Chain A
Amino acid sequence: MIGRFREAVKLIWPEFYPKISGRLNPYFTIADYRKIWGIGITLLTATALVPLAVATITYYQMVQRLVDSELVLRTERVASNARRAVTFFFEERLDALKFTVNEIGFDQLTDADHLLAVLRNLRLGFGGLADLSVIADTGVQIAYAGPFKFEEKNYGNQVWFEECKQHNYYVSETFNGYRNVPHMIIAVKGLRPDGSFFILRATLETERLFQTLSSYEPGAHADIFLTNRSFMLQTPSKYYGDIFEKMSLPPLNYSRKTQTVMSIDNKLRSIITGYAFITTKQTGTPFVLMVVKQKAGMIGALLAVRSNFNWVVGLGTLIIVVVVTVLCTIMVNLLFRADRSKAETMVLMEQSNRLASIGQLAAGVAHEINNPLALINQAAGYIKDLFIIEKRYQNDEVIMESIDCILDAGDKCAVITKQLLGFARNVDTKIQKVNLREVISDVLIFHEKEAVYRNISIAVSMPKENLEIETDPGKLEQILLNLVTNAFHAMEDGRSLKIQASASNEEAVVISVSDNGCGIPKENRQKIFEPFFSTKPKDRGTGLGLAITYGLVKKLHGSISVESRENEGTTFTITLPICIREEEGKNEDTPGG
């Protein structure tokens, strides 16, 4: 379970994120993986999200248009119905007064008792009638029925009187009457038999009008009210001011028909206003009917759906972004790993090429030196022969010592050239029988001088009988040389190196290289076989030695392990098969470096 989790984390962990640096850098094909990652995520996310965003916005706009047109239609219907009702309210009352004037006539109406009877009858018919009065063409009130005493009051210079005289009918705005209750007056002109006119005037309580209006109120977030033509409220409004106050909505243009406009109110609510200028068939009125609906209230359910839809879109967007990011990370990671392993291979190849050319150089040098060396050896040998066989200088110790000195030096040189030639040649040798003792002593030759002047003792312990294995001597030499070189680097002067070889069973031998040097810290032990891991100063270590060694041991079908204690020493142990099958050996195409 934990392992799987780790694998998953490894898959999506952005290994490419830290800046590439160091020795691998020049071998990477792509320099900036972060940029590729960023571009990938941006492009893929955009490709996925742009159509989603466009579809969502288009959908919202379409729904909004549909809802708006539906709302407008509904508001217009309410306004239109209310307008008809209000118009009828006034027409009915004006007609009743007109009927009274024509039917009863001036003479009877001016009789106080008769007028009172008419008032009572009209109240029965319509209700809400406060008083009735008859005004002569001079403007003087000549009869009154009602709760107050207004007899002989002169209205001759009042606007309404003039209006009624001219247009035969009159409807007033609402106003606060004597009892501080909103009232309005309507008046009708009648003709007397002598041709002069009189006016029948009625005061209406507005309660009935309010009731008529509020019966059309279309819901909680809606308002219905009347204003005059300068938009002073004539009936109370729920949201836009009290009666007789200025309406807190922008003014509207005159229109003969019912109109609907969309706007924003003083509290920044989106509203739909249906309005109509009330005109009766007899005369115009000062009233404007207003029906105001708040969109938010009416489309609450729709907004809830929209909010759900927004959640779905948001969640979808989140999923897209996460999936795109994870996918991009995995892809770029894979790309990065492939590139890195290519770069590592390139570095290893460069290293092995370098080692191969060092081998070739060594072989070349040894080759060229060998012939003159053979000559020196022969010449010195001849001189010695002359001395010994001819017995001329047989007793001259100084000359004999000199000759021996030349011969010794020649022999040593011969060993080294043989060594170099053998070492270089082994780069392409095949599997063959190898004597471990010889290989170990060949390897130690390279460190003999250093061991002497650093006072490092070297102990080799092996079983007495010859330990022979079938393997690739070149690779084995390289392995041991790397291990011994590392041990020398780890030790201070005066320490000791121990090499042990033994047959562990019939199929394998074990070779261990131990030093009592500085040891490997625990935290580094896991990493020492990784390429480019090095704790040595830059000019001394490439970080490849143990990685190559590890690879070579694997090529020889062996295994390598390390035991170390800090400040006490390190032991590398390699186990190699005594016999490698020929086919396996043939498959090795490249030398181990």
Chain B
Amino acid sequence: MIRFDLLIIDDEHRFAELLVRRLNLRGVTCCVRHEGQSGLDILSHKKFTLILLDLQLPDIYGTEVLARIKKVCSATPVVILTGHGSEKDRQECMALGAHAFMHKPLDIDALMSILTQIGGAAS
């Protein structure tokens, strides 16, 4: 089984916590940050297989965070997961190099298939 390291940047604590548990059950290790800045900080000293990024963050808006992530580690795929993203957001994120744009509530099987794809590509 391929080992996945996932960074979740989402200000919804309970949502993130539940998601971590579900992913753990599927053998995915997760790291959670609730602000955009702290998410960027951890990226400076740790590598992840995939970053799951919410758009509505308390400090920096998601698209800005995405742009900065792409500067630091452009190779890491970023999946946007948002509760109320508009078509405009979607287009902007895809232009900035997001791997996928997903809506909450999250379809965990869809996320897993994306991870599997990335893992397959990496190996």
Contacts and interface: CB of A to CB of B under 8 A. Distances in A.
Interface in A358-414: 366-367, 370-371, 373-379, 381-382, 385-386, 389-390, 410-411, 414
Given A382-B18, A385-B25, A389-B26, A377 B105 contact: yes
Interface string A330-350: 000000000000000000000
Interface residues on A, range: 20 to 34
A374 B84 contact: no
Interface string B53-89: 0000000000000000000000000000001101100
A421 interface: yes
A370 B84 contact: yes
- A-side interface mostly: helix
Contact of A370 (B21, B83, B86): B83
Contact of B22 (A375, A378, A418, A429): A378
Contacts of A410: 105
Contacts of A114: none
Contacts of B15: 371, 374-375, 378
Contacts of B108: 381
A385 B27 CA distance: 12
Contact of B25 (A374, A386, A414, A421): A386
B94 to A, nearest CB: 14
A238 interface: no
A374 B21 contact: no
Contacts of B21: 382, 385
B83 A371 contact: yes
Nearest to A379: B18
A425 B15 CA distance: 25
B92 interface: no
B83 A425 contact: no
Nearest to A376: B105
Contact of A378 (B19, B26, B86, B103): B19
Contacts of A425: 86-87
Contacts of A371: 12, 15, 83, 104
A373 B105 contact: yes
Contact of A414 (B12, B84, B105): B105
B14 interface: yes
B103 A418 contact: yes
A375 B83 contact: no
Interface residues on B, range: 10 to 19
Query: Which of A373, A375, A432 is packed against the most chain B CB atoms within 10 Å?
Result: A375
A390 B22 CA distance: 11
Contacts of A411: 105
A367 B25 contact: no
A425 B91 CA distance: 14
A374 B105 contact: yes
B96 interface: no
Interface in B96-111: 103-106, 108
A374 B83 contact: yes
Contact of B14 (A366, A370, A375, A377): A375
Interface string B1-20: 00000000000101100110
A378 B17 CA distance: 10
Interface in A395-449: 410-411, 414, 418, 421, 425, 429, 432
Nearest to B84: A367
A382 B104 contact: no
A427 B105 CA distance: 24
Given A374-B105, A377-B105, A378-B105, A421 B84 contact: yes
A371 B87 CA distance: 18
A381 B83 CA distance: 17
Contacts of A375: 12, 14-15, 18
8 contacts: A370-B83, A370-B104, A373-B104, A374-B104, A375-B12, A381-B108, A414-B105, A425-B87
Interface of B: 12, 14-15, 18-19, 21-22, 25-26, 83-84, 86-87, 103-106, 108
Interface of A: 366-367, 370-371, 373-379, 381-382, 385-386, 389-390, 410-411, 414, 418, 421, 425, 429, 432
Given A374-B104, A385-B21, 16 more contacts: A366-B84, A367-B83, A370-B84, A370-B104, A371-B12, A371-B83, A373-B104, A374-B105, A374-B106, A381-B108, A385-B25, A386-B25, A389-B26, A418-B103, A429-B87, A432-B87
Query: Which 4 A-B residue pairs are closest in the complex by CB-CB distance?
Result: A377-B105, A374-B104, A374-B105, A378-B18
